[in-house]
Structure 1
Amino acid sequence: MRVRLILPAVTLALLPHQQAPAAGAAVITQVVEYECTAKATGERQNVDVTIQLTMPTGATAGEQLSIGWRGTYVRGSELLAPAGGLTAGTKLYAYASISDFPGLTSATGVGELGTPEAGEIIPLPSGVVPLRTTPNSAGTGTVRPAAINFGPRPTEPEIECEVLNEEALTTYPLTVTAGTGGPDDDPGGAPDDDSDPAPVNPQPTRTVTATATATAVETVEAEEDTPRDGVVRTPKGGAATGGGGEAGPDGRTFVATGLLLVLAAGAGLLLRRRRGVRSRPGSASAR
């Protein structure tokens, strides 16, 4: 009895580990027929893959959701590496098609692979590959398996596999609910910061006002210096301020008058001397 109880336990322990789907999650398992084409050689192969999709629960608009993808070959229809093999670091890129959902068309995931030689079976990831996408709004759509590609990068596939029996595949509904209305769901809401915002249009500083006043004063002074009736008026102390000949009485009149006075004085002095000589005794005029 003990041997019979131990052997089943050992046998179960040696079986490959299967990741259990989340509680309440819907699981879809079906065989997908692919036509795979090697881009370098154009070689084509028909491959059958049993794909298991695990649908998410509680998907919310604005948050990333994940669809579990797990694939295994149907015996006898495995994908073989083309002539020349595959580039080192080749990965599996799996897709799920989403229909009838506003603004959401697919989910994508990537799985690590080995590097098989030409003619060898290209292995599929042993674990679950999460296919991720982010819905922008609430809604309901349908999901089904889609293409799988092999290559070093998603934009550089070396093997492309397209679904042949797409219309025969079973679909499952995907439901996305609206957000909770928290701060993260309202990008246009008011900020949480209670601090006073900085003024957008601050008042002019006193420096600017003083500059404007000084300019106005200069303008008024300039207007006062400019005669309004066309007559130039002599300021006080015109001679000292550079008023010129129009600043006061003409100085040439004083100079001419002074010169006449000097000449008259000289003539009078000369006349008196002549009269004195004539009146002296013994002079020729006296005789």
Structure 2
Amino acid sequence: MTSKWFNPPPPAFTSFITSDPASEFPAEPNRYVLYVHYGCPFAHRTNIVYHLKRLQSLVGFSAVSIHRDGDNGWGYDGSSGSDSADPIYGFKNLRQLYEKADPEYKGGYSVPFIFDRKKETIVSNDSSDIVRMLSTAFDSNLDPDLREENKAGGGLLPAPLKAEIEELNDWVNEDVSWGAYKCGFSQTQEHYDEAMTALYKALDKLEERLAETKFLFGDHITEADVRLFPTIARFDMAYVTVMNCDWKQIRYDYPNLHRWLRHLYWEVDNDAKDAFKGTTHFDIFMEGYAKSAMRLKLVPWGPKKPILPLSD
């Protein structure tokens, strides 16, 4: 991403939880807590994996409020499904947690991140890394059918497809996941036109790919599907209006992407304990983007149906 739009700060905490008991951050049950905001697409991807892997009994979970606490980052006020306070220390905002991890910390107070109760620090605030550590690190503590090595298709990141998945992740992240933000935060017509061109070129490419496959890499969900879903789920509801991504909509102009989205939302959850549908909060998307991201006073109405049924 270039400075012509905006530069999200690089992750400040980049350690990794592993299955090795001798590692700096071993995958011990009840040691870690995942922090998310239900409106954030990058936090959403980690929440999907958290539910796909059924980690509720192994890793703690905390959802912050939809509202910011001024310069203290996201707060806790008990609204919109959030907790009323941080579950570890009773803190009321994320600044307190970041400064607990590093008293000299001067960056932003972003989600998602994983906090280590034992070392009293943040392990990582990189959503891509969190997805991977949640995918595999705790497998020895899970039932055999939930372990990546035993899943049909080789799990979320099958070794034979790893390079291809990472290549797709790179351009999807740049032109779609961050692409919508580039459109919304562009300060000149030139930059907006450039961002819109890249975004819709990428969506066209995904549409063509899904013409011949159920998921992005065949008949099984991979990490690529998990990472793309939060953006596509938000597209018609929030990005079209709030981020000015109004050239084409998923439900009307991308039948294959629309089928893929609805299949994940309506059907996959039968076997995935609400990993997709249950982590998707349309009302929070709308208010969060309008009032927090864009600092608007009003929340747009539509579309009337957040997501269409499979029969449409």
**Looking at both structures, which has the greater relative contact order when contacts are Cα pairs under 8 Å and sequence separation is at least 6?**
2
TM-score with structure 1 length normalisation?
Answer: 0.21
Higher helix share goes to which structure? 2
The higher radius of gyration belongs to 1
TM-score with structure 2 length normalisation?
Answer: 0.20
